[in-house]
């Protein structure tokens, strides 16, 4: 008797699973400009395109209610979707929110989540236009879909990077991951001894970066003001290494970045030292920074370097499948996708 071979989901990982599940789907509508494979799908309506993206957040996988305030959760659920819209160089317009809750949640608790949703809508000027609600056997599930618009010539995909383009990031990296590490440490200590109260003083910056991220629309507006359109772009949700590899794969190119150019905040480095961790690991593999990673032509160097919040960390090369980090000692290390993976991290 033969048995059919089964493949564990963990073996493929999130993106491998997506590729496998969607590889047989062919686009049938002329209006579908871009389907699966970027930060958002793109639907064409004449000169204007609509971008659509959705994210599912699951209790116990994407968030822990032991240390995540419900208002912050609602806010973050919206922001992580708007981040994907901005990463397409588009403007978010509307969202839908669907939620499934178990019996442990009161109406007042659910209202707190929607207070956070409203805060994000007000902050970024988007409308809540619908959604769905359902019961859940266990836990909390939130799905947000975001819609945005852009002119076709202004859209920025992952596949547009060219040889000698400059690689840029906004803000600083690794802070959100170190904020998570602190919260997980304090949770573990409290579980061991309920008399121990969480000690979070002095971690304000990295905790806020994890619990309530903000988006870099200031940089996008500055780039537009300088007439600079990125050739490729992503948000950094799964770690710098993973996102760079996505751009290289989609653009069929390689890259090299330099350790001493990767921006890491002092608060991040200090927290990393407490965990006896190299802060570079947090920056490369931590994820959830929701900063922007993008490429621009070499000719835009003078314009880009004058914009606050942008750091030029490397360049695109013609060496396909060759993505490397050059250390401060001159050592060349191959980049690997070691960032967030919902299946591997379970």
Question: The domain spanning residue 87 has which CATH number?
Answer: 3.30.1330.10
User: Do 180 and 213 share a domain, yes or no?
Assistant: yes
**Region of residue 290 (phi > 0: left; psi between -120 and 50: alpha; otherwise: beta):** left
% the chain with pLDDT above 70:
88
Residue 2 has pLDDT above 60, yes or no: no
φ, ψ of residue 181 in degrees (nearest 5): -60, -40
* 60 and 140 within one domain: yes
Q: Is residue 36 scored above 70 in pLDDT?
A: no
Q: Looking at residue 237, which CATH number applies to its domain?
A: 3.90.650.10
> Is a pLDDT exceeding 50 seen at residue 342?
no
Instruction: Tell me if 339 is assigned to some domain.
Output: no
Q: Give the domain extent around 261.
A: 158-334
Minimum mean pLDDT range among 15-24, 49-58, 136-145, 314-323: 15-24
Stretch among 24-38, 81-95, 221-235, 325-339 having the lowest mean pLDDT: 24-38
Are 163 and 131 within one domain? Answer: no
Q: 134 and 193, same structural domain?
A: no
pLDDT at 157 over 60: yes
Give yes or no: residues 212 and 113 share one domain: no
> 269-302: buried (b, 16+ CB within 10 Å) or exposed (e) per residue?
bebbeeeebebbbbbbbbbbbbbbbbbbeeebee
Residues contacting 278, CB < 8 A, separation 6+: 272
Interstrand relation of 332-334 and 310-317 (parallel, antiparallel or unpaired): unpaired
Same domain, 234 and 263: yes
Whole-number pLDDT of residue 80: 95
pLDDT at 272: 97
The rounded distance, in Å, linking the Cα atoms of 155 and 174 is: 28
Burial of 48 (0-12, 13-18, 19+ CB in 10 A): exposed
Banded model confidence at residue 190, pLDDT cuts 50, 70, 90 = confident
Domain count, the chain: 2
Q: Output the average pLDDT for the chain.
A: 89
What is the reported pLDDT for 199?
A: 83
Specify the DSSP class assigned to residue 152.
G
Give residue-wise pLDDT tens across range 283-318: 999 989 999 999 999 999 999 999 999 999 999 999
Among 153, 182, 200, the domain boundary falls at 153
pLDDT (tens digit, 9 = 90+) per residue, 251-274? 999 999 999 999 999 999 999 999
Query: Residue 171's closest CA among 283, 43, 22, 24?
Result: 283
**Whole-number Å distance between alpha carbons of 42 and 155:** 9
279 or 33, higher pLDDT: 279
The answer to whether residues 303 and 202 belong to one domain is yes
Rounded CA gap, 80 and 166, in Å? 25
Across residues 86-91, what is the average pLDDT?
94
Least confident of 36-50, 161-175, 246-260, 308-322: 36-50
Task: Looking at the structure, tell me whether residues 217 and 72 fall in a common domain.
Answer: no
Task: Say if 226 falls within a structural domain.
Answer: yes
In a domain? residue 299: yes
pLDDT at 18 over 80: no
267 lies in a domain?
Answer: yes
317 and 223 co-located in one domain: yes
Q: Which residues of 19-38 are buried (b: 16+ CB within 10 A; e: fewer)?
A: eeeeeeeeeeeeeebbeebb
Q: How far apart are CA 5 and CA 8, in angstroms?
A: 10
Last residue in a domain, options 132, 153, 174: 153
pLDDT in the model for residue 343: 42
**Kind and range of the H or E run holding 6:** none
Name the CA dihedral angle for 18, 23, 26, 31, rounded to a multiple of 10 degrees.
Answer: 30
Question: Edge-to-edge, what's the strand order for the sheet holding 292-296?
Answer: 232-235, 292-296, 166-170, 310-317, 254-258, 323-326, 332-334
Question: Is 17 among the domain residues?
Answer: no
Which residue is it, tokens 């990767």? Answer: 262
Q: State whether 89 and 236 are in the same domain.
A: no
Q: Is the pLDDT at 42 greater than 90, yes or no?
A: no
Q: What CA–CA distances, in Å, run from 227 to 6, 27, 232, 304?
A: 51, 33, 15, 10
8 Å CB contact between 268 and 202: no
Phi, psi (degrees; rounded to nearest 5) at 220 = -60, -40
| Same domain, yes or no: 144 and 162 | no
| pLDDT of 340 | 45
Residue 240 lies in a domain: yes
Q: Which of 122, 153, 184 is the last residue of a domain?
A: 153
147 within domain boundaries? yes
Spatial separation of the C-alpha atoms in residues 76 and 86, rounded to whole Å: 15
Q: What would the mean pLDDT of 211-229 be, rounded to a whole number?
A: 95
The mean pLDDT value for 89-115 works out to 95
20 found inside a domain: no
Q: Are 184 and 318 part of one and the same domain? A: yes
194 secondary structure, DSSP code:
T
């Amino acid at each position: 008797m033969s048995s059919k071979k089964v493949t564990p989901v963990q073996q493929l990982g999130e993106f491998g699973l997506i590729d496998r599940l969607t590889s047989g789907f062919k686009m049938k509508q002329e209006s579908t400009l871009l389907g699966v494979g970027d930060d958002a799908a793109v639907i064409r309506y004449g000169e204007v395109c609509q971008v659509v993206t959705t994210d599912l957040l699951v209790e116990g996988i994407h968030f822990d209610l032991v240390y995540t305030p419900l208002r912050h959760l609602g806010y973050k659920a919206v922001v992580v979707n708007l981040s994907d819209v901005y990463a397409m160089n588009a403007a978010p317009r509307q969202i839908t929110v669907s939620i499934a809750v178990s019996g442990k949640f009161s109406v007042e608790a659910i209202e707190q989540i929607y207070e956070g949703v409203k805060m994000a809508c007000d902050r970024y000027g988007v409308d809540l236009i619908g959604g769905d609600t359902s019961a859940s056997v266990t836990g909390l599930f939130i799905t947000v879909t975001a819609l945005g618009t852009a002119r076709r010539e202004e859209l920025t995909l992952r596949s547009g990077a060219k040889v000698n383009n400059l690689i840029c990031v906004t803000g600083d990296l690794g802070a959100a991951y170190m904020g998570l590490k602190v919260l997980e440490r304090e949770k573990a200590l409290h579980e061991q001894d309920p008399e121990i109260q969480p000690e979070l003083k002095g971690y304000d910056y990295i905790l806020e970066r994890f619990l309530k991220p903000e988006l870099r629309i200031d940089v996008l507006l500055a780039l537009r003001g300088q007439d600079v359109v990125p050739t490729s772009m992503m948000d950094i949700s799964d770690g710098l290494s993973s996102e760079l590899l996505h751009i290289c794969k989609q653009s069929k190119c390689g890259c090299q970045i330099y350790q001493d150019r990767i921006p890491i905040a002092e608060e991040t480095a200090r927290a990393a030292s407490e965990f006896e961790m190299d802060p570079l690991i947090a920056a490369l593999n931590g994820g959830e920074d929701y900063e922007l990673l993008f490429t621009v032509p070499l000719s835009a160097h003078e314009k880009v370097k004058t914009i606050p919040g942008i750091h030029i960390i490397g360049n695109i090369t013609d060496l396909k499948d060759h993505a490397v980090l050059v250390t401060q000692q001159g050592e060349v290390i191959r980049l690997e996708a070691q960032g967030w993976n919902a299946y591997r991290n379970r």
